[in-house]
């Protein structure tokens, strides 16, 4: 390899390595973020959430519920594989207990247990 080509080759290899690591991090599925509108008091685990527009950030072991930019609850959760990608963000209630959030475009759902 000619001497002039070596720096260009090394630069291309470095950019390729950075691009692959950024892509892997963004597509890792370790964190799911969504918005959730509750119209009535709702239990999540053992926490009662008031009606409002929440931002939910789930990292696989816990979900943070933010209201007006402040964390109002941290709830244990699990991220479960979903067959395919979710087409529309929905959530599952069992009476007044939030048990699952399915987020549009994701292949995992956020699940909560009643006793958590």
Considering the domain boundaries, does residue 104 fall inside one?
yes
**Are 60 and 25 contained in the same domain?**
no
Assessment of whether the complete model's pTM goes beyond 0.85: no
Do 23 and 59 lie in one domain? The reply is no
> For residue 104, what are the CA distances in angstroms to 42, 50, 62?
22, 24, 19
User: 3-48: per-residue pLDDT in tens?
Assistant: 565 555 444 554 444 333 333 333 345 799 999 999 999 999 889 9
In a domain, 116, yes or no: no
Q: Within this chain, do residues 60 and 86 fall inside the same structural domain, yes or no? A: yes
pLDDT at residue 51 is higher than 60: yes
Domain that holds residue 55: 32-111
Q: What is the pLDDT of residues 62-99, one digit of tens each?
A: 999 999 999 999 999 999 988 888 889 999 999 899 99
Please indicate, yes or no, whether residues 11 and 59 belong to a single structural domain of this protein: no
């Amino acid at each position: 390899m000619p001497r002039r080509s070596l720096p260009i080759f090394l630069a291309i290899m470095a950019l390729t390595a950075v691009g692959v690591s950024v892509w892997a991090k963004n597509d890792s599925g370790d964190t799911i973020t969504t918005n959730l509108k509750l119209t009535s008091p709702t239990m999540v685990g053992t926490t009662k959430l008031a009606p409002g527009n929440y931002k939910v950030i789930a990292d696989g072991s816990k979900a943070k519920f933010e209201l007006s930019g402040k964390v109002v609850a941290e709830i244990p959760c699990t991220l479960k594989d979903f067959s395919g990608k979710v087409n529309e963000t929905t959530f599952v209630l069992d009476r007044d207990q939030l048990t699952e959030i399915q987020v549009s475009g994701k292949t995992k759902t956020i699940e909560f247990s009643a006793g958590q």
